[in-house]
Amino acid sequence: MDDSSGVGVLDKAALVLTALESGPTTLAGLVTATGLARPTAHRLAVALEHHRLVGRDLQGRFVLGPRLTELASAAGEDRLLATAGPILARLRDITGESAQLFRRQGDIRVCAAAAERPSGLRDTIPIGTQLTMTAGSAAQVLLAWDEPERLQRGLNSSSFSAVALAGVRRLGWAQSVGEREAGVASVSAPVRSPSGKVIAALSVSGPIERLTRQPGRLHAPAVMAAAERLSEVLRRSGAND
């Protein structure tokens, strides 16, 4: 955080919640991410867990808690989803393919928004669909900029390699051909928060017959432009920082 609110315990609690934004984190990871002393990080995480602002996954790692989702719903649709709709629709119209927005939740990714191709053969992914983090161009994007430890752990059971993810970081986009589902190809690019953290992946997907075995050649420029447009709107609004 750049500025102190003057209430130290709240500033430190905010550091803990921000550190959990990218996914499950161990106590050691919290200490590294926040710069807090280990006893302080543990005490705050446990206190936040009491209020359901923090939870635990099956491995005992700290995660963002269910109360945050409830509060977000009470406040109305969040800025990312509110902004994504028109951008996804435009990306669908430009490419002629179904467009999706994926967000990571622990060891899965969730389709948070979508704009479907109106007719013909298409790759339909309903909003709320949970997909693996081990295959697909969106999974590559969501993992490529992760912290080294989490990235390496994610590669253990994935269909892609560390070399492939290095290529994703270099190019700024990912592609997959029959990786998640036979006959389906996709292209994805990162959406970033105002602080520069990758918080979502914007994708187009469809049959290999149309996207070919090099879908990035067809659609990477449009997908990257759409992802940057969404990131820019978030920067201007200061949302999801």
The pLDDT of residue 122 is: 62
More confident site: 207 or 238: 207
What local confidence, expressed as pLDDT, does residue 120 receive? 67
pLDDT of amino acid 72 = 65
The whole-number pLDDT of residue 115 equals: 93
Amino acid present at 207: P
Which helix (H) or strand (E) element contains residue 184? strand 184-192
pLDDT > 90: what percent of the chain? 62
pLDDT for 156:
86
Q: How far apart are CA 9 and CA 22, in angstroms?
A: 22
Give per-residue pLDDT as tens, 106-146: 888 999 999 998 776 666 788 889 998 999 999 999 999 98
Model confidence at 152, pLDDT cuts 50, 70, 90, reads confident
C-alpha to C-alpha distances, 42 to 31, 34, 217, 225, nearest whole angstrom:
9, 11, 47, 41
Residues with Cβ < 8 Å from 236, sequence gap 6 or more? Answer: none
Q: Which two tokens stand for residue 100?
A: 């999706």
Rounded distance, CA 124 to CA 111, Å?
11
pLDDT in tens, 50-87: 999 999 988 899 999 988 877 765 553 467 888 899 99
Residue 73 has a pLDDT of 57
What are 153's two structure tokens?
């752990």
Mean per-residue pLDDT for 191-202? 91
